[in-house]
Amino acid sequence: MANTSLAVLFEKGIIESSKGNCQKAISYFELALEIDENINRIQIELAKCLYLTGDSKRAKEYFIKSLDYPNDIAVQQSILLYLQEISKKEPVVRWSASLVYDSNPTGSSDIDSININGIQYNVDSKPKASWGANLTHYTKSRPFKDLDYFVETVASAAYFDKHDNTQVSADMNIGKEIMITSSSLMTIKGLYNKTYYQGDHLLDSAGINANIYHQLDSGNTGVYGLTIKDFDYNESRSEYSGIDKRIQFGINTQPKDGISYFGEVSYATYAADRASDSNKTRGLQLNISKDLISALISLSEVEYDGVDETYSVVRDDTKRKVEFTIKPKTQFIDNINLNIVLGYSETDSNIASYTSNKSYIYFKKPL
């Protein structure tokens, strides 16, 4: 009976939408989804009607949901084009704030001993916990009437009590989405960042980022990316410039039993004008997410080509990180989302080993 009712509601919705009565069609599609919310065809038809009636926000939600299902190439291209049109018309404005607790921030350690050139030294060092807060404002818009480019701005301010320090950062990126084939979309953008630390100028960086999202025959999405940045770094003890390159490959699966997986392999090189800052990083990363909880597991290895200034030795690090994110299903205060992140990281090197436990509470408000 439920299946019959669903079929009737869907048919009525199609009839009304074909007549141009999208408002009536929406009510039929919504009733059908109340019976079974996982029917992709109904989600797509509802999204189209919502878009045509001007409710781009809800239309986008349903189009994105529909990408999680195996669609034929024509349907997939149609969805991507709708999403592209929505992103053109609707600027994105987002505020987010976070509180951070780190049991062992960079610069403090629970190291007992250090090995330098084969000699073991004892270290009287205790971990020092740090509290911090961060506020970020993000926008994405298309300010050029006749040009199909988007502009992103990111402004953030942070405070951490470890050294009683503050940091202010600003990014401005300009980019474009390009449909390469009927099943491939590329996003390319120029990157620019300026960072101040304790009121002093710390960092300038500029670069380019390109990502390709390709719908695979399996229904999964292949992600291929390249980022190159050139930067100038200044601090009290040194001034130098360098180039950072990162290549990543990944596959994002469609949700199976409500669970989504994203696996990534990355390789990065960093070369500065002082040898001690040259390194190569190779890493593996796996994200597993469900409605309420997600997990990040990563493993990376860093090889330093130069000499570590602090310990005067050549070193390499192996880093392991695990994070769990808990996300309430409901927006509980005036459309504000809450994420709680519990993290654990561990680093082994030929100098020393240390661990760190981090806890983040994120408050996010999309506008």
Task: Check: CB of residue 139 under 8 Å from CB of residue 92.
Answer: yes
Instruction: Give the C-alpha separation, 217 to 254, whole Å.
Output: 12
Does the pLDDT at position 119 exceed 60? Answer: no
Query: Above 70 in pLDDT, residue 160?
Result: yes
Averaged pLDDT of the chain: 81
Q: What is the pLDDT of residues 271-284, one digit of tens each?
A: 888 655 688 999 99
Specify the 3-state DSSP secondary structure of 352: coil
pTM to 2 decimals?
0.70
| Burial grade of 329 (CB within 10 A; 0-12, 13-18, 19 or more) | exposed
Under 8 Å between Cβ of 355 and 317: no
Query: Positive or negative, the Cα torsion across 303, 305, 311, 315?
Result: positive
Q: What is the mean pLDDT of residues 356-362?
A: 80
Which of 266-280, 281-295, 324-338 comes out lowest in average pLDDT?
Answer: 324-338
Residue 228: band (very low, low, confident or very high) from pLDDT cuts 50, 70, 90: very high
Residue 207 has pLDDT above 70, yes or no: yes
The pLDDT value recorded for residue 206 is 98
**Mean local confidence (pLDDT), 54-61:** 84
CB count, 10 Å around CB of 293?
A: 12
Report residue 351: phi and psi, to 5°: -105, -50
CB-based contacts of 320, cutoff 8 Å, min separation 6? 298, 299, 345, 346, 347
Query: Percent helix, strand and coil across the chain, each rounded to 5?
Result: 20, 55, 25
pLDDT of residue 4: 56
Specify whether the CB–CB gap between 42 and 48 falls below 8 A.
no
What is the structure's pLDDT at 329?
63
Task: Kindly list the distances between the CA atom of residue 293 and the CA atoms of 22, 226, 261, 328, 359, in Å, as whole numbers in the listed order.
Answer: 36, 29, 13, 9, 15
Q: Which domains are present in the chain?
A: 2-89 (1.25.40.10), 95-366 (2.40.160.40)
Whether residue 335 is predicted with pLDDT greater than 80 in this model: the reply is no
Containing 165, the helix (H) or strand (E) segment is strand 165-181
d(CA 321, CA 299): 7
Q: What percent of the chain has pLDDT over 90?
A: 26
Please give the pLDDT value at position 106. 57
